[in-house]
Amino acid sequence: MAAAPTYILGIETSCDETAAAVVRRDDEGRGELLSNVVLSQLKEHAPFGGVVPEIAARAHVIHLDRLIEQSMAEAKLNFNELSAVAATAGPGLLGGLIVGLTAGKAITMAHDLPFLAINHLEGHALTPRLLSDCEFPYLLLLISGGHTQFQLVEGVGHYKRLGTTIDDALGEAFDKTAKLLGLGYPGGPRVEAYSKRGNAKRFDFPRPLKGRNDCNFSFSGLKTAVRETVNNLGTLSDTDVADICASFELAVVETLVDRLTRAFARFNEMHPNVRKPTLVVAGGVAANAKLRQAIELTCAKHNFTLNVPPFHLCTDNAAMIAWAGAERLALGLTDDIAFKARPRWPLDSVSAPIYGSGRLGAKA
């Protein structure tokens, strides 16, 4: 007799999005998104040029209960119809993680449900399997404000880090460049907008780690080059800003293509029998049009199938947390209610941490 479908409530509060979602997983592993509610805090953090942890945590406290109720209503479910509750336990901002974990644990205890403590990175890694048949193994490129890394995804709970940033994440590099140019926060969309009318050949910015025989990233040197250019120019015209943005974006694109080519080679070395390998791209930076085009061309050149979830599932959301919970529940991988928040929680616990000049190297 076929097993009954499972219904998972997911909660995400690791940074500056407060989110709740419900997914359904049938006995054959097919997923369905029943609700996905996300409240952005961009307006609250924009005046500070970045995320303020105390403000983020306070917003989660204020809004999370309402968003959970809205998510359950849209899914047309009562709490006693759930199979389990999944909440992000890390990595992320400690205050925010505690808010989401506390809410998730309270619901599981009140309704006698299994609890699932989810690694935020695993949520990104498994998202494509919610929407389509995406068979293991595949290569994940995660490019966001907090993470830039390659992961070999071989199964639920089975990951191997092939490369990570040794300093800044790519999204952070975009934000810092925008801040240097006075463009505001978040920086990615603003840098991209200005780059469209700029001369990408005007400034010869460095391509960090290009040609290196590994899959790591570094963006601090590129950021420094932008700062030095801004300082040397003095008062910036609109043309200067556009040219800097275009030159910066070109440097990022060429760096990413070089690193991606190396990661493809590494994947093929580790899984030579996969005839049509897949690259999954997740994270908000995946929305950049020139990066997306470069990734598509590089995939075609190296015979990789590109799988990019819809943008609302690439950025931080609770659907990916609920789905990771559904995949883990199907394998019996539940967690104790005493599970504590982990601000730093590598997806691959085997690889040694890489400590660069920035805080993110230790987290990746």
339 & 276 share domain: no
Can you give the residue range of the structural domain that contains 12?
A: 6-127+312-346
Out of 111-125, 234-248, 349-363, least confident range: 349-363
Tell whether 356 is covered by a domain: no
- pLDDT reading at 361 higher than 80: no
237 & 320 share domain: no
Q: How many CA atoms lie within 13 A of 160 on its CB side?
A: 13
Specify which of 41-55, 178-192, 242-256, 308-322 reaches the highest per-range mean pLDDT: 242-256
Tell whether 355 is covered by a domain: no
Terminal C-alpha separation, the chain: 43
Q: Kindly report the average pLDDT of the chain as a whole number.
A: 92
Which residues make beta-bridge pairs with 116?
86
Position 363 scores a pLDDT of 36
40 & 142 share domain: no
Residue 91: how many CB atoms within 10 A of its CB? 25
DSSP state for residue 136 in the 8-state scheme: S
Position 58 scores a pLDDT of 94
Tell whether 1 is covered by a domain: no
Strands 6-12 and 17-25 turn out to be antiparallel
Position 358 scores a pLDDT of 36
116 & 149 share domain: no
204 & 277 share domain: yes
The answer to whether the beta carbons of residues 316 and 118 sit under 8 Å apart is no
304 & 322 share domain: no
183 & 90 share domain: no
Position 359 scores a pLDDT of 37
Position 311 scores a pLDDT of 87
Please give the average per-residue pLDDT across 286-313, as a whole number. 94
Q: How far apart are CA 322 and CA 74, in angstroms?
A: 15
- pLDDT reading at 41 higher than 90: no
Name the band, by pLDDT with cuts 50, 70 and 90, for residue 360: very low
Q: How far apart are CA 53 and CA 197, in angstroms?
A: 35
Q: 160: Cβ–Cβ under 8 A, 6 or more apart, which residues?
A: 151, 152, 154, 270, 348, 350, 351
Tell whether 133 is covered by a domain: no
110 & 143 share domain: no
Q: 269: Cβ–Cβ under 8 A, 6 or more apart, which residues?
A: none
The answer to whether the beta carbons of residues 152 and 270 sit under 8 Å apart is yes
Position 1 scores a pLDDT of 47
Please give the average per-residue pLDDT across 180-187, as a whole number. 90
Please give the average per-residue pLDDT across 24-52, as a whole number. 88
CATH number at residue 104: 3.30.420.40
298 & 325 share domain: no
String of DSSP letters for 7-56? EEEEEE-SSSEEEEEEEEE-TTS-EEEEEEEEEE-HHHHGGGTS--HHHH
Tell whether 320 is covered by a domain: yes
Specify which of 108-117, 127-136, 143-152 reaches the highest per-range mean pLDDT: 108-117
Tell whether 360 is covered by a domain: no
- pLDDT reading at 39 higher than 80: yes
270 & 328 share domain: no
Q: How far apart are CA 207 and CA 219, in angstroms?
A: 9
Detail the DSSP E strand segments found in the chain: 6-12, 17-25, 31-40, 84-90, 115-119, 138-143, 148-155, 158-164, 278-282, 305-307
What is the residue whose two structure tokens read 């030579």?
272
The pLDDT tens digits for 169-181 are 999 999 999 999 9
Q: How far apart are CA 256 and CA 226, in angstroms?
A: 18
Structure-model confidence comparison of residues 2 and 78, the more confident one: 78
22 & 146 share domain: no
Tell whether 121 is covered by a domain: yes
91 & 32 share domain: yes
Tell whether 351 is covered by a domain: no
The pLDDT tens digits for 216-245 are 999 999 999 999 999 999 999 999 999 999
The structural domain count of the chain equals 2
